[in-house]
Amino acid sequence: MASPESRSKTTAQRRKAICPICSLQDGLILQWSKPTPLFTEGSLFAVDYDVENPVNEGTLCPRGNSVAELMEHPQRLDCPQVDGRAVDWPEAIARVSEGLKKVIEEHGPGAVAVLAGGTLGLEEALGVARLAREVIKTPHAAPLFPDDGPVFARLAGLGWDEGFTMADLQERQAALLIGDVFTEHPVISRRILKARYKDRSHRLFVLDSVPTQTTWFAHEHLRPAPGAEALILAALVQLVSGEKGSAAGTGLKLDLQAVAGRTGVSVKQMETVAGALGQASSGVIVLSSLFGRQGHAGLCALLAHGLSRLLKGTFNFLHLPIYGNGRGVYQMMTSNGDASTAGPGIIKLIEQGKIKAAVLFGVDPLSAVPSRALEEALGKLDLLCDIGPLPTLTTPLAQVRLPAAIGPEKDCRWLYLNGDVRENPQAVPPPGLARPEGWIAGQLAERFSNSTDVTVDPGEVDKKLSASPGSSWTEMLKAEEKTLQTELAAGEGGEGAYPLYLVSAALPAHVGDGSLTRHFTWTKRVAAEPCVWANASLMEQLNVREGDRVQVSSKHHRIILPIMAHADLPDGTITAPAHFPEIRRLFSTPADAATGELDLRPERVSVSLPKEK
Amino acid sequence: MSEQVIGQKVIILNLDYCIGCRSCATACSESHHQYLSLVHGQVKQLAELPQHCRHCQDAPCVASCPTQALKRDENGIVRRHVFTCVGCRSCVQACPFGVLDGTLLRHVTAKCDLCVDRVVNGLQPRCVTTCVSGALTFEDLSEVWEEDRVQMGSRIIARSPWKRA
């Protein structure tokens, strides 16, 4: 570990690094400015563009452009804190260790929860899992990815598409994008748009219930009723497998007219898309899942995976997770098919008061799955240890805060989208006493149990990654037929008190639950406050103008938000950005019985004028 | 680099490619101490497009500046002098393209400097380098005119209310 002083530079320097924000893992250059009369040490970071990087060719999204600000943030924690008091590492580690031992003595190891986020390296994630399961001996250790969890759970059984490069995408003849891919992961747009404009025969299809910047570019925008994306994908699977004489044996027997009636997408439109995908010699299906955006995101992933297998051309299914090493952390920390190791299940245990101590490695439960019950339960914990680089919504409730390094500040390995394990070299030492999460997990293990070492050998990681899942997608789909039939029969019910659908929306300035991105000055400038978008007809009906405040109510929560106009939104649908905890609270968070992950879908809500006080 | 070379190069926006992600604006803001010199315009609430300073040959903003804070430098770039600008916003009124943002930051008007620190070294402005979709390019003006390129992309035409009518 380099000394803290080495973070300041007396000369201008440039180091290559990987953007720690999202799963595209874009390359960038961190540079120190030249010393000036005001800044004699030249310690100010700036982001420059790594045009030689094959992933992004120097381009960066708004979040990537702000990485330097994240690393130099004035609220950055640079020393451990116990009860708000700055302490050294031995004292902080001893406090956590003693706190855990006390809870285990009184309530058993099952009263301890360990949650991890997507910024950990592969070895770090496995080390944290080992700390929880072998040292603390709690079964409640899991990654927490409410947006991506349902998809991870499916793909953990099916396997991920591997072996392609980002450059391959611009050679593909067709693309089916599910969700607002360009807003959530702007860097991928370059490859897809190059392909779209290079060849007139290229076809770009977008499946999304609301119009977005991505749907702008679609040759065909499949716009189903909110939450019914899985039905469209199932219809496409049925149509494509039908062309092959039902040889694939998917067993799907959906009435396409009924699907058209339920989703609002015509049979002709579905046939057009299925036909074009079937004729393309190559293509890609991309899914960007977002909290409360797609209905049955896991099932969508299963169907998209199956569709990519059925199509006769060279097709890949690409899921774009939110956080940098989200998929890697998921694979390291979960045992396949074990629903009890899912993060949302542990959150429910915390809400129920069954957990008495929690250690959070780079995760913010109150941003990810906010609820009043969770906030109260976290406040009552005997020990809450928050490990991360910046304060989160959960941080004020923590007795112990431990400063962690951000991606470019530590040597680690991340799993890339195509299955490659990529080195993430340290470009700059962490500030002050901040340390990588893996180092912190090692210190905790050493203090808790003198004889146990949680240091992970890279070979163990490779072995875990090479385990083949081996489930058949057709078999898994048969088990889901009931879900599809139920969704088909759901219709437009649920009117009455909650006549509108709330579909979560993405903002380019934010990613995931916003716990990292809300620290950017840029984010505060362009998306300072949560709001709700509605079309002109709803605004006229409510007799409100842009900027007026309205009350949005669901069965679970009620919130007053400014209303903004959105020209193209279909009737009966409103959208609001999912990065704000206040808006996330509007959504119900049912867990999938089989996987333990959340089964999120657009929420039924009502919009009214707030009552006068 | 000579005056002519930089002076002839301009930032071109290909409307067909812009996804409205605002990477260009973020890069501009982050690299200029949070001074944002790149405004975004909305097209009927359907698209958000960046509007760049053209560095006009006969720049109205320079003519309108009462304190001579706006000047064309030796590279042909219209620049604002930070200590001379009094934030009167005359340039904002004068700009025929509406690319100068009237929002004052520390009592001065933000103005695109074409990332002169990069351009003199043969690099592209930051907004162009960072552009994720490839919509922004930094090209020689004479080449653009020779190609007789249609500046309004098919995307805009396709969604245009005039075409629908």
- Domain membership of residue B24 (yes or no) is yes
Q: What is the pLDDT of residue A284?
A: 96
Distance, CA of A498 to CA of B114 (rounded, Å): 51
Quick one: which H or E segment has residue A290?
none
Length of chain A: 613
C-alpha distances (whole Å) from B2 to each of A224, A249, B5, B117, B118 are: 56, 68, 6, 14, 14
Identify the CA nearest to A500 among candidates A446, A560, A575. A575
CATH 3.40.228.10 corresponds to the domain A151-319: yes
Question: Positive or negative, the Cα torsion across B47, B48, B50, B54?
Answer: positive
CA nearest to B16 within chain A: A217
B126 to chain A, closest Cα gap in Å: 8
**Lookup: tokens for B113:** 């400097």
Level-2 CATH architecture, domain A81-145+324-466 = 3-Layer(aba) Sandwich (3.40)
- Domain membership of residue B102 (yes or no) is yes
Q: Which of B21, B29, B34 sits opposite A508 (nearest CB)?
A: B21
Distance, CA of A402 to CA of A74 (rounded, Å): 16
CA nearest to B46 within chain A: A567
Q: Pairing state of beta strands A282-287 and A174-178?
A: parallel
Contact (CB<8Å) A62/B23: yes
Cβ neighbours, 10 Å, residue A458:
12
Contact (CB<8Å) A565/B36: no
Contact (CB<8Å) A65/B36: no
**Which residues of chain A does CATH 2.20.25.90 include?**
4-71
Distance, CA of A507 to CA of A486 (rounded, Å): 32
Give tens-digit pLDDT for A341-376: 789 999 999 999 999 999 999 999 999 999 999 999
- Domain membership of residue B96 (yes or no) is yes
CA nearest to B49 within chain A: A213
Sheet strands side by side (includes A282-287): A220-222, A203-207, A174-178, A282-287, A314-319
pTM to 2 decimal places: 0.93
CA nearest to B32 within chain A: A46
Q: Which of A66, A189, A190 sits opposite B26 (nearest CB)?
A: A66
Contact A334, A154 (CB under 8 A): no
Residue A594 backbone dihedrals phi, psi, to 5 degrees: -80, -40
Identify the CA nearest to A550 among candidates A532, A527, A528. A532
CA nearest to A27 within chain B: B130
Residues of B in contact with A60 (CB under 8 A): 23, 27, 130, 132
A403 to chain B, closest Cα gap in Å: 25
Token pair 């119900």 in the structure block, residue: A588
Contact (CB<8Å) B45/A566: yes
Length of chain B: 165
- Kindly report the three-state secondary structure assignment for every residue of A9-76: CCCCCEEEEECCCECCCCEEEEEECCCCCCCCCCCCEEEEECCCCCCCCCCCCHHHHCHHHHHCCCCC
- Domain membership of residue B162 (yes or no) is no
Residue by residue, DSSP assigns A378-406 as: HHT-SEEEEEESS--SSGGG-SEEEEB--
Residues of A in contact with B46 (CB under 8 A): 216, 567-568
**CATH number of domain containing B29:** 3.30.70.20
Give tens-digit pLDDT for A263-279: 999 999 999 999 999 99
**Helix count (H) and strand count (E) of chain B?**
9, 8
Distance, CA of A491 to CA of A503 (rounded, Å): 17
Contact (CB<8Å) B21/A189: yes
**Lookup: tokens for B1:** 């680099």
Residue B26 touches chain A, beta carbons under 8 Å = yes
Contact (CB<8Å) B19/A189: yes
Contact (CB<8Å) A47/B30: yes
Contact (CB<8Å) B22/A62: yes
Q: What is the pLDDT of residue B3?
A: 43
Residues (pLDDT < 70) of chain B are: 1-7, 44-46, 145-165
Quick one: which H or E segment has residue A307?
helix A297-310
Q: Which of B22, B45, B130 sits opposite A508 (nearest CB)?
A: B22
Give me the CATH topology for the region A494-608.
Barwin-like endoglucanases (2.40.40)
Residue of B19, B137, B164 best to disrupt the A interface, most CBs of A under 10 A? B19
Q: Which of A49, A194, A521 sits opposite B130 (nearest CB)?
A: A49
Contact A25, A121 (CB under 8 A): no
User: Which residues touch A285 (CB under 8 Å, ≥6 apart)?
Assistant: A175, A176, A177, A178, A304, A307, A308, A315, A316, A317, A318
CA nearest to A506 within chain B: B21
Distance, CA of A117 to CA of A143 (rounded, Å): 6
Residue of B24, B30, B42 best to disrupt the A interface, most CBs of A under 10 A? B30
Q: Which of A51, A183, A189 sits opposite B129 (nearest CB)?
A: A51
Give me the CATH topology for the region A4-71.
N-terminal domain of TfIIb (2.20.25)
Q: Exposed, middle or buried by CB within 10 Å (0-12, 13-18, 19+), for A553?
A: middle
Q: What is the pLDDT of residue A469?
A: 76
Distance, CA of A150 to CA of A480 (rounded, Å): 14
Could you tell me the residue range of the domain that residue B109 belongs to? Answer: 3-157
CA nearest to A26 within chain B: B132
Q: Which of B20, B36, B130 sits opposite A213 (nearest CB)?
A: B20
Bridge partners, residue A574, by sequence = A502
Contact (CB<8Å) A187/B132: yes
Q: Which of B16, B23, B159 sits opposite A65 (nearest CB)?
A: B23
Cβ neighbours, 10 Å, residue A525:
16
Residues (pLDDT < 50) of chain A are: 1-5, 244-245, 247
Q: Pairing state of beta strands A27-32 and A14-18?
A: antiparallel
Token pair 């903004």 in the structure block, residue: A564
Residues of A in contact with B19 (CB under 8 A): 182-183, 186, 189, 193, 213-214, 216-217
Contact (CB<8Å) B129/A47: no
Contact (CB<8Å) A525/B46: no
CA nearest to A568 within chain B: B46
Residues of B in contact with A175 (CB under 8 A): none
Question: Positive or negative, the Cα torsion across A486, A489, A492, A494?
Answer: negative
Q: Which of B34, B44, B155 sits opposite A216 (nearest CB)?
A: B155
CA nearest to A170 within chain B: B133
CB contacts < 8 A, A to B, total: 99
Q: Which long-range contacts (CB under 8 A, 24 or more apart) does A251-254 make?
A: A251/A474, A251/A477, A251/A478, A251/A481, A252/A477, A252/A481, A252/A484, A254/A484, A254/A488
**Lookup: tokens for B155:** 């995307």
Bridge partners, residue A30, by sequence = A15, A47
Contact (CB<8Å) A183/B19: yes
Cβ neighbours, 10 Å, residue A379:
11
Give tens-digit pLDDT for A482-491: 899 988 888 6
Residue of B18, B117, B131, B133 best to disrupt the A interface, most CBs of A under 10 A? B133
Distance, CA of A580 to CA of A575 (rounded, Å): 13
Bridge partners, residue A207, by sequence = A178, A222
Q: What is the pLDDT of residue A522?
A: 85
Contact A89, A443 (CB under 8 A): yes
Contact (CB<8Å) B21/A183: yes
What domain count does chain B have? 1
Token pair 């006549």 in the structure block, residue: A499
Identify the CA nearest to A567 among candidates B41, B45, B42, B155. B45
Distance, CA of B13 to CA of A164 (rounded, Å): 31
**Lookup: tokens for A145:** 């990815």
CA nearest to A48 within chain B: B126
The residues in B 122-161 lying below 8 A from A, measured between CB atoms, are 126, 129-134, 155, 159
Q: What is the pLDDT of residue A353?
A: 95
Residue of B48, B101, B130 best to disrupt the A interface, most CBs of A under 10 A? B130
Contact (CB<8Å) A59/B130: yes
- Domain membership of residue B34 (yes or no) is yes
Distance, CA of A283 to CA of A302 (rounded, Å): 17
Q: What is the pLDDT of residue A595?
A: 84
Cβ neighbours, 10 Å, residue A118:
27
Contact A342, A153 (CB under 8 A): yes
